[in-house]
Amino acid sequence: MRIGLLNDGKGLGAYTNEILSVWGLMNVRQVAGGELEDLDVEETPVLVFPAGVDEDGSFASAALGFVQRGGNLIVCLPGSTLAQAAGVGVDGLMESPQRLRLTQAPMAGLAGESLVVVGPSQRWKRMEEDAAMWAVLYQAGEEVDMEGPGIVQRSVGKGSIMALAFDLPLAVLMLRQGDPANTESTGRADGPARPSHLACHIGPQEPDSIPYADLLGRLLLELATSLFPCPVPHMWHLPQGVPGIVVYSGDEDTADVEWNQQQFREMTDAGGRMNLYLIPGNTHSTPADVADYQKHHDVGPHPNIRALDGAPVSARVDEMVRQIRAFEEMFGVPARSLRNHCISWAGYLEPVRGMAECGVGMDGNYFCSTFLRDRGYAPYAGFGAAMPLRFGLPDGELISVRQQHTHTMDDVYFGPENVPYSYRMSPELWETVLGRVLDDVAQRFHVPHATCIHPSNWVRFSRDQGLALVRLGLEREMPVWSFDQWLTFLEARETWRCESIQWDGERLAATFSGDGGPFAFVLPQKWRDREIVEIEARGGVVDPETRRFGETVRMIRADGESKVEVMARYR
């Protein structure tokens, strides 16, 4: 059995698949519009219908037929046919940004917080009493009578329609990457262009203590699996079933080799691994030094395009590409991940295209922070993101580079008084703040916490805070990996496939295969009014009960095997 995803090459079908895939949903099948008339509801009991894939409305009748035969449809921004079937009337569009407040489970790691919605959203009136409301939409800071239905579900024929009054994939994309309308073309007068200048306007009271963009994506997975006629096993998105991960890096800038070596040595002793990003034309490190660094850690380019502040976007991107290739030629090391000096940027996703051209797999330039915008600390401010999705364009194109937001930068948070933008957090204060952030990661959100701790700052003022990131992470069973190490895991994870899911009303059997590695699979301990009474795995190890996203689950670790068969009985 599979979850279908309507994808005719239009709209955000590919990005929708990226959202589901990054959270570990493996039994997704791409469905072309021409297949809808005869789509088997037994084999594909749930179909996700993104906005934009049916511009002329030609698929709506076939999708409704799928529902009437017993299928479950999830549709964003429904047209008149599907909106009427869902029991709502569309009364125009609402102004962005909006807030989405859930009224019942699934909750996607939330505990009463509202999520942010940007982009188009419809104003609905509930026309049928049996259209059950799962969430409401409202404008932040407005009167309560401004809220209306945001997600509804209604039984139709033998199946059901779950309709969303907004374009969920587009909202996730824009929140994570920024609004294309904020793109500059010739720099900024107040300093370098940065990704933070692209951030969407999201209104007052930003829920910046939660990764709201990624939890909005997680909600789509949980809605789809809630409609599935059996428990859905999926691949855990972090290594070995851990509750979170710290992804560690530093920018070399002008650091002495001895400073690099000190940070590397102390990171190794503490149990962590990191990336060091080097400016190829401005480094004291020789190829021999880099080879020594790589015994325990990783290196990548740190392009410095600041000399071209104000130049056309294409000139800045060309210079970034030149420096990436210069790094590879100088050190004989492929550029796997990077961060630009001063997290400088150019245009919208033009730098990402340049990275893809060079074979770079992960970008670390987007900084979740109030940096240069506000003076309050918030781990997810600006973008609400932490998961490593690939970049995508609103027209549907997916780019091969993964977007890993950074959450902690030492000059911003720990710099001394002569750093005017620093928040000047002492080691003692930082441990309290970080403890709260990592507790939320490990207990609620299960996302990466990515860092940048410069070696030149490590030896002057950020060593204690940098080591606290390692220690407090490990205390919460969160491994401390480099960006390159994290990228390698994600690439290997994509070799895995869900071969089959079978269900006889009580017994679940699922088979997964792929390249061996530190992977794990997860099953809900409870499903509807049942729970697991027996579970076993061939090719894997079943762990005791644990908690993820507020629910009790069972983890099955592959432990290097290339095929895992899971059998569970629910009563």
Flag whether pLDDT at 312 surpasses 80: yes
The mean per-residue pLDDT over the stretch 368-380 comes to 91
CATH 3.20.20.370, the chain: domain bounds? 245-365+446-464+477-491
CB 508 within 8 Å of CB 502: yes
The mean per-residue pLDDT over the stretch 536-560 comes to 94
Tokens standing for residue 228: 């599935």
- Alpha carbon distance 251, 301 (integer Å): 9
- Alpha carbon distance 96, 207 (integer Å): 16
- Alpha carbon distance 334, 358 (integer Å): 9
Sign of CA dihedral 260, 261, 266, 271: positive
Give residue 490's pLDDT.
98
Q: What are phi and psi of 109, to 5 degrees?
A: 85, 0
Flag whether pLDDT at 489 surpasses 80: yes
- Read out DSSP for 179-214? -GGG--SS-BTTB---GGGGPPP--SS--TTS-HHH
Instruction: Express each pLDDT in 278-307 by its tens digit.
Output: 999 999 999 999 999 999 999 999 999 999
Instruction: Express each pLDDT in 504-538 by its tens digit.
Output: 999 999 999 999 899 999 999 999 999 999 999 99
- Alpha carbon distance 406, 545 (integer Å): 31
At 250 the three-state DSSP class reads: strand
CATH 1.10.3720.10 fits 3-234, yes or no: no
Confidence of residue 559 (pLDDT cuts 50, 70, 90): confident
CA-to-CA separations, 528 to 2, 263, 455, 531, in angstroms, rounded:
19, 50, 51, 8
**Using N-to-C axis directions, what is the helix angle for 463-475 and 257-270, rounded to 10°?**
20
DSSP state of 367: B
Give residue 412's pLDDT.
98
- Read out DSSP for 378-432? -TTTTT---S-PEEE-TTS-EEEEEE--B-EEHHHHH--TTSTT-----HHHHHH
Residue 187's identity, in one-letter code, is: G
Tell me how far the alpha carbon of residue 265 is from its chain's centroid.
31
**In percent, how much of the chain has pLDDT > 90?**
92
Give residue 374's pLDDT.
87
- Alpha carbon distance 12, 167 (integer Å): 9
Tokens standing for residue 2: 């599979």
Residues 6+ apart with CB under 8 A from 55: 10, 11
The mean per-residue pLDDT over the stretch 404-409 comes to 99
CATH 2.60.40 fits 495-570, yes or no: yes
Flag whether pLDDT at 39 surpasses 80: yes
CB 225 within 8 Å of CB 549: no
Residue 330's CB is within 10 A of a number of other CB atoms, namely 18
- Alpha carbon distance 392, 217 (integer Å): 14
CA-to-CA separations, 433 to 130, 212, 366, 430, in angstroms, rounded:
46, 19, 21, 5
Return the bridge partners of 160, or none.
72, 155
Instruction: Express each pLDDT in 51-105 by its tens digit.
Output: 988 777 889 999 999 999 999 999 999 999 999 999 999 999 999 999 999 999 8
Instruction: Express each pLDDT in 14-34 by its tens digit.
Output: 999 999 999 999 999 999 999
- Read out DSSP for 261-286? HHHHHHHHHHT---EEEE-TTS-S--
Tokens standing for residue 135: 């969430």
Alpha helices in 29-167 (DSSP H): 60-68, 80-86
Flag whether pLDDT at 145 surpasses 70: no
The mean per-residue pLDDT over the stretch 262-278 comes to 99
At 89 the three-state DSSP class reads: strand
Give residue 220's pLDDT.
98
CATH 3.40.50.150 fits 245-365+446-464+477-491, yes or no: no
Flag whether pLDDT at 324 surpasses 90: yes
Flag whether pLDDT at 315 surpasses 90: yes
Instruction: Express each pLDDT in 147-190 by its tens digit.
Output: 999 999 999 999 999 999 999 999 999 999 999 999 999 999 88
Tokens standing for residue 357: 């051209």
- Alpha carbon distance 94, 124 (integer Å): 9
Strands 520-524 and 234-235: antiparallel
Query: Which is nearest to 402 in space by CA: 384, 390, 387, 392?
Result: 390
CATH 2.60.40, the chain: domain bounds? 495-570
Query: Which is nearest to 134 in space by CA: 158, 165, 91?
Result: 165
CATH 3.40.50.880, the chain: domain bounds? 3-234
Is 0.95 surpassed by the pTM of this model?
yes
Tell me how far the alpha carbon of residue 464 is from its chain's centroid.
29
Name the one residue in this structure whose structure tokens are 């374009």. 167
- Alpha carbon distance 190, 192 (integer Å): 7
Give residue 144's pLDDT.
62
As a whole number, the mean pLDDT across the chain is 96
